[in-house]
Structures are given as structure tokens and as C-alpha cells.
Copies of this chain bind each other. A is one copy, B any other.
Amino acid sequence: MSELKSRIAQRMVAATLKAAREASLKPVAVAVYDARGALKAFQAEDGTSLRRGEIAMGKAYGAIALGVPSRTVGAMAVERPHFIAAASHIVDGPLVPAPGGVLIRDKRGALLGAVGVSGDLSDKDEAAALAGITAVGLAADAGT
């Protein structure tokens, strides 16, 4: 399994926050996990609500747990709410079925981890996550 370096994860957090400010998003929290589902880097902007960070974490961790972007998890939750409700009990971590959790892949397509963003509309959160991943030259998989 390819490994996501701490230094790269930190750069993705900074690039994601830079994109969020440039797009004038509401205050966001951003979480970067590696392929093990271990948190590598995180930052919450000033003004984020008490558990906003957990929502960002749940977008990224849930994506890694199920192997699909959180946008796809959200679509699954619309089609089969009972399945995602059940999955949220058994993935041993937070799972948020909404856009903003984007998978990070290397050039060969191997999973490196995921970036999760929460604070504004889910589509805007996702755009910031995408910007953070591409800023470090890695491939972003946000689903369709």
C-alpha cells in the first residue's frame, strides 16, 4: 500500500484552507487521513461549530472505510438509507454521507487516503478538498 507522508498531508490542509478562503467559504474544518484510516493532519478555522471537525472527519474516514468518495456514500444513503444507517454503526469510525470527502490516489491509482472538508455547502466543501489534493500533484477522486 502506498503511504501518505505527513508533510504532504500538512500541505494539503494548507492548500485546502487557502482555496476555502479564496472562495469565501464559511469557516471550515479539514481532515486528512491515510489509507489506514488514521488521521494525519487536521485544522479547524476560527468560527467553526463545536462538532464541525467531526463532520469533516466523517466525510474522509467514511470514504476510506467504504472505498468510495463521500458524494457516492451520500447517493447510496438516498437510494438505500437503511444500508448507510447500518454501515454507520459498523465502520468503527465516523461516516458522513455528503459531498466533501475526496479520495487521494497516486499516479497508478492506488489509494493514499482522503481529504474531508465541512463548513459550507457540501459542493463548496468538496471543491476546496479537490483544490487541496491537486495542489500537491496527487489525483483526486470525488465521484460523479
Q: State how many copies of this chain the complex holds.
A: 4
Contact between B54 and A90, CB atoms less than 8 A apart: yes
What's the least CB distance linking A136 to chain B, in Å?
15
When chains A and B are docked, how far (Å) is the Cα of A52 from the Cα of B118? 24
Interfacial chain B residues near A91, Cβ < 8 Å: 50-51, 54
Where chain A touches its partner, the secondary structure class is: mixed
Q: Is A129 an interface residue (CB 8 A)?
A: no
Instruction: Map CB proximity to B onto A12-43 as digits: 1 under 8 Å, 0 otherwise.
Output: 00000000000000000000000111111111
| Cα separation A81 to B88 with both chains bound (whole Å) | 14
Query: Would you list which residues of chain A between 62 and 82 have a CB under 8 Å from chain B?
Result: 62, 64-68, 74, 77-78, 80-82
* Top 4 A-B pairs, shortest CB-CB distance: A49-B67, A77-B82, A42-B42, A51-B65
Residues of A near any B CB (own CB < 8 A): 1-3, 5-6, 9-10, 35-46, 48-55, 57-58, 62, 64-68, 74, 77-78, 80-98
